[in-house]
Amino acid sequence: MFFWAAFFFLLGTLVGSCTLPFHGLASRTGFIGATAVTAVVVLRLLGMRRISPYAAFVVIGAAYCLFYGAHRFPEPIAFGHMGNIRGLVMRAEHHLDHQELSLGNGLRIYADRYPEFEYGDTIALRGEAKRSKNPLMAGIVNARHATIRLESEGGGYAIQRRLLAAKAAFENNLKRVLPSDQAAFLAGLTLGTTDEFSKEFVDELRASGTTHIVALSGSNVTGIIAGIMFLLGLVLPRRKIFWPTILAIALFVAMTGAESSLVRAAIMNGIVLAARRYERAGSMRNAIVAAALMMALWNPLVPAFDLGFQLSFAAILGMAYIMPILERYSPWKNRTLLESVSAQAAVMPLLAIAVGRTAPFAIIPNMLIAAAVPYTVTLGFLTGGTALVSGTLAFAPAWLAGILLSYEMEVIHIAARYL
């Protein structure tokens, strides 16, 4: 019952997203109603009469999406002409030659690298806002070479500022004990930070089909869970470490920007932990749809317009349904390798549709890297954490991490050049 209700609600959010370009409530309502009726007819023709009543959730999901779409950016924005722009920085991404600032009113500002702004800063500038083609944000402002004035600091949530400060400290620790290119790559593997990637390295990741390895996912959450549970298990009974572990996952997600792939992994791992804690049977199908439902309730436009959401769920579906087939017939029984192959097989068609290109031989570098990445992530967290206590002690895990990073980066370089 839960699965089909959630499934049709998610379908409804997709239907509602499709109606955003329509003008008038009548056309939107007609399209949504026709879709729901079509779903009922198709289900009955397929003999799924017990499921057909759940098609009503298509209407609920679509209505929720339209309601959210009408109220997502309450602050009016003047598009198409020069004007005064002001807002609170909710997210700051610092790249080598520029920075991207996401404001609370839905605008994304592309600005010069300096002066540098952070989460919680209130900024003001004069510029022209252009409507975004992606409904997830209201508009875009090209503020390169523009004068941006800092009006105040310390806005937003205090806990978020502290988490971002901890993230910055962790990244600085990596830079202290590793070469700059390896530190940047390791920050990408552990925290999803790609700000200091060179353009050449970004191009190599794309050409080799390995961009996904710096998109935070289940391996990161799994590593954190294992470490937290081990440390808490030293001082607490096993039955009392569930909620501290959940809190640690939530804080990590908030610290790293709540990327879709990481949120999905965090929710699914939380469900698995809850099943163990309360001794209930688990269902991969229900866990997947529950994670998607929770993300859609937070923002119903995400399933239709967030490529990270789509790729993340395609990958997990590949591991859930393609990997068992590979395990049955493949001569190789390495689980990490089969997970990588299954995920790649599932996301390739989506990448081809979304970006117009895909790397058909990307499976080769992914196979070569897959087994090393979990160990690199573990050593990365160990390096950054140890450096908080002693930079000297951190050189031991950093040296081991450097060996793996050199290998992985060389595989990416060779694959980008020859595949």
pLDDT 10s digit of each residue in the chain, 419 long? 888 899 999 999 999 888 887 777 788 888 888 888 888 888 888 888 888 888 889 899 999 998 888 788 777 788 888 888 999 999 998 888 889 999 988 899 999 998 999 999 999 999 899 988 888 888 999 999 889 999 998 888 888 888 888 888 888 888 888 898 899 998 888 888 887 888 888 888 888 877 777 776 666 677 677 767 777 777 778 778 888 888 888 888 888 877 788 888 888 888 888 888 888 877 888 888 999 999 999 999 999 888 888 888 888 888 888 888 888 887 777 777 777 778 778 887 887 776 666 666 777 887 788 778 888 888 888 888 788 777 778 888 889 999 999 999 999 999 888 76
Q: Strands 122-131, 82-94: parallel, antiparallel or unpaired by DSSP?
A: antiparallel
The domain covering 82-156 belongs, at the CATH homologous superfamily level, to Nucleic acid-binding proteins (2.40.50.140)
Give the sign of the dihedral formed by CA 23, CA 29, CA 32, CA 34.
negative
Name the residue type at position 391: G
Q: For residue 237, give every residue at least 6 positions away whose Cβ sits within 8 Å of its Cβ, in sequence order, or none.
A: none
Three-state secondary structure readout of the chain: CHHHHHHHHHHHHHHHHHCCCCCCHHHHHHHHHHHHHHHHHHHHHCCCCCCHHHHHHHHHHHHHHHHHHHHCCCCCCCECCEEEEEEEEEEEEECCCEEEEEECCCEEEEEECCCCCCCCCEEEEEEEEEECCCCCCCEEEEECCCCEEEEECCCCCHHHHHHHHHHHHHHHHHHHHCCHHHHHHHHHHHHCCCCCCCHHHHHHHHHHCCHHHHCCCHHHHHHHHHHHHHHHHCCCCHHHCHHHHHHHHHHHHHHCCCCHHHHHHHHHHHHHHHHHHCCCCCCHHHHHHHHHHHHHHHCCCHHHHCHHHHHHHHHHHHHHHCHHHHHHHCCCCCHHHHHHHHHHHHHHHHHHHHHCCCCCCCHHHHHHHHCCHHHHHHHHHHHHHHHHHCHHHHHHHHHHHHHHHHHHHHHHHHHHHHC
Q: Strands 107-112, 139-143: parallel, antiparallel or unpaired by DSSP?
A: parallel
Lookup: tokens for 98: 């520029």
C-beta of residue 309 within 8 angstroms of C-beta of residue 264:
yes
pTM comes to: 0.81
Residue intervals in the chain for CATH 2.40.50.140: 82-156
